[in-house]
């Protein structure tokens, strides 16, 4: 095993306004941002910063060179697009899986899985500085090994930063603050010799570590929890805590707290699509104290769970009518029973991936949406000022900004700006005008078609006040422009 360290001093200039299609709005209680390029952009995690900004991390193939690169996007404290960068070129595939802020600053360490020159997948740490106006990868460390590594997450545990993941059927962790461990690849490895394990994520509370993932035995996947104490001593493990499940189960996340932890998992159900459940551990020995599963007959895949102010907040991916994928955020009581839940969605097949609640109670949700940009998969971010405000949420009135990322367009090699398509006036009350004759579709932010036509004039006199999308088909792509209607 060896460790490769390289200094990367390339900084990207991201001012290309003709590629940013957005409308400026005053900050609202619920806001939506969408960003991406011409191909596929996929989110992995969201990380709020001390200054009030937020990182969306993931990967992209929109640079159109036949590779997949890590993708780092930053929005400022006004929730406006600030900058984005890619991980350095040189690999066919590199996917960012997680990030962790550096010492209370807006700088960040980013964790990725990269196909290395040694022929296996390696873990890579990128150190990113954030000047607010731009971002820069200053150093990258690649940890090479003869076995494929699948890093899952960063955690801070016992005063150090650890990578936790799996490698060809076993689980592992590595202290990245220990230079000797980095140089020698001093992993701590665990797993059943006759089974395959994989890690989904890990969380720490008061220096107790919980790792969740899956164990595969005879082809059956079972949600699994491993627990360590405050001195690094293994405490317990539980494979398949829902022993009454119909078929396979897999862990999504865990919320640790004083006196225990709650596991969110997804499960196969007899005669119904995927559902989710919560297993509570409060006895300190890995024996479940209670298990609660979804009663809904609809698709309900679990995603993430957070303990917040005495309740559990759960993020899930829903599909109620077979073709309407949405975000659902639910408050549970301390035992995991449903209290109240709300849907977020625009009709563009939104799959949530991660969420976070910052120190001010603001909820940040990141995921993937199909259809906003160029008919491809893009990254969406919701900013929700508080959970309770969702009771007043109306989908048609969400302020929306869509960014065709200029950094991705520049990387494709576009030297001259394409002719800018303008929609005016905006806001508008009776009609809106396109700057050129176009094939257009007017949609609500819930994805419903309000009108279609060919030409420049769009009649909006009969529409309710709110925010809409004008989708314009061009010769080799489509453009989506937000429109505010004030009648």
Angstrom distances, CA of residue 251 to CA of 65, 198, 224, 241, 254: 35, 10, 7, 10, 8
What φ, ψ does residue 41 adopt, rounded to 5°? -125, 125
Looking at residue 375, its pLDDT comes to 67
Relative to beta strand 338-344, strand 311-319 is: unpaired
Does residue 425 have a cis bond before it (omega within 30 degrees)? Answer: yes
Looking at residue 466, its pLDDT comes to 74
Looking at residue 9, its pLDDT comes to 27
Relative to beta strand 299-308, strand 466-473 is: unpaired
In order of start, what are the domains of the chain with their CATH numbers? 18-144+345-417 (2.40.128.460), 160-314+327-337 (no CATH), 423-485 (2.60.40)
Q: Give residue-wise pLDDT tens across range 138-180.
A: 999 999 888 899 999 999 999 999 999 999 999 999 999 998 8
Distance CA 191, CA 155 (A): 20
Looking at residue 396, its pLDDT comes to 58
Looking at residue 469, its pLDDT comes to 77
Name which of 345, 471, 451 is nearest 398 in CA terms.
345
Residue owning tokens 């976070």: 356
DSSP β-bridge partners for residue 262? 255, 280
pLDDT < 50: residue spans in the chain: 1-26, 411-418
Residue 265 and residue 250 in contact, taking contact as beta carbons nearer than 8 Å: yes
As given in the structure block, the two tokens for residue 47 are 């990380």
Question: 38's torsion region: left (phi>0), alpha (psi -120 to 50) or beta?
Answer: alpha
pTM for the predicted model, two decimal places: 0.83
As given in the structure block, the two tokens for residue 12 are 């990207």
Relative to beta strand 400-404, strand 30-36 is: parallel
The residues, any chain, with a CB within 8 Å of residue 468's CB and separated by 6 or more, are 396, 442, 443, 444, 445, 450, 460, 482, 483, 484, 485
Residue 154 and residue 100 in contact, taking contact as beta carbons nearer than 8 Å: yes
């Amino acid at each position: 095993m060896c460790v490769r360290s390289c200094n990367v001093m390339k900084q990207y200039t991201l001012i290309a306004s003709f590629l940013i299609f957005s409308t400026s709005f005053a900050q609202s209680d619920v806001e939506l941002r969408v960003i991406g390029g011409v191909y596929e952009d996929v989110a992995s995690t969201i990380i709020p910063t001390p200054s009030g900004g937020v990182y969306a991390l993931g990967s992209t193939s929109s640079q159109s060179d036949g590779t997949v690169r890590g993708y780092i996007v930053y929005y400022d404290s006004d929730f406006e697009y600030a900058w984005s960068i890619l991980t350095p070129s040189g690999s066919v595939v590199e996917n960012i899986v997680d990030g962790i802020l550096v010492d209370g600053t807006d700088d960040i360490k980013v964790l990725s899985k990269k196909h290395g020159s040694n022929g296996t997948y390696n873990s890579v740490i990128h150190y990113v500085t954030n000047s607010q106006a731009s971002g820069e990868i200053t150093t990258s460390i690649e940890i090479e090994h003869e076995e494929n590594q699948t890093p899952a997450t960063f955690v801070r545990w016992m005063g150090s930063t650890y990578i936790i993941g799996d490698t060809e059927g076993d689980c592992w962790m590595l202290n990245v603050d220990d230079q000797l461990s980095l140089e020698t690849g001093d992993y701590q490895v665990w797993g059943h010799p006759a089974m395959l394990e994989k890690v989904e994520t890990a969380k720490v509370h008061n220096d107790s570590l919980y790792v969740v993932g899956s164990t595969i035995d005879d082809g059956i996947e079972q949600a699994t929890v491993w627990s360590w104490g405050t001195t690094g001593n293994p405490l317990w493990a539980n494979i398949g805590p829902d022993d009454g499940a119909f078929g396979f189960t897999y862990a999504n996340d865990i919320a640790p707290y004083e006196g225990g932890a709650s596991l969110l998992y997804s499960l196969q159900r007899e005669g119904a699509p995927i559902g989710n459940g919560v297993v509570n551990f409060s006895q300190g020995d890995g024996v479940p104290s209670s298990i609660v599963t979804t009663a809904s007959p609809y698709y309900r895949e679990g995603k993430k769970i957070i303990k917040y102010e005495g309740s559990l907040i759960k993020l899930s991916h829903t599909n109620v009518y077979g073709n309407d994928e949405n975000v659902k955020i639910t408050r549970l009581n301390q035992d995991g029973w449903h209290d109240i839940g709300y849907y977020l969605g625009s009709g563009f097949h939104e799959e949530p991936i991660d969420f976070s609640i910052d120190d001010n109670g603001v909820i940040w949700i990141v995921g993937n949406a199909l259809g906003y940009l160029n008919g491809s998969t893009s990254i969406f971010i919701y900013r929700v000022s508080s959970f309770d405000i969702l009771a007043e949420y109306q989908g048609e009135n969400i302020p929306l900004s869509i960014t065709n990322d200029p950094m991705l367009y520049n990387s494709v090699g576009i030297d001259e700006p394409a002719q800018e398509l303008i929609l005016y006036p905006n806001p508008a009350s009776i009609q809106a005008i396109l700057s050129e004759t176009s094939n257009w579709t007017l949609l609500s932010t819930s994805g419903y078609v309000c009108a279609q036509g060919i030409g420049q004039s769009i009649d909006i006199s009969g529409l309710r006040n709110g925010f809409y999308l004008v989708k314009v088909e061009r010769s080799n792509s489509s453009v989506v422009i937000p429109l505010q209607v004030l009648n």
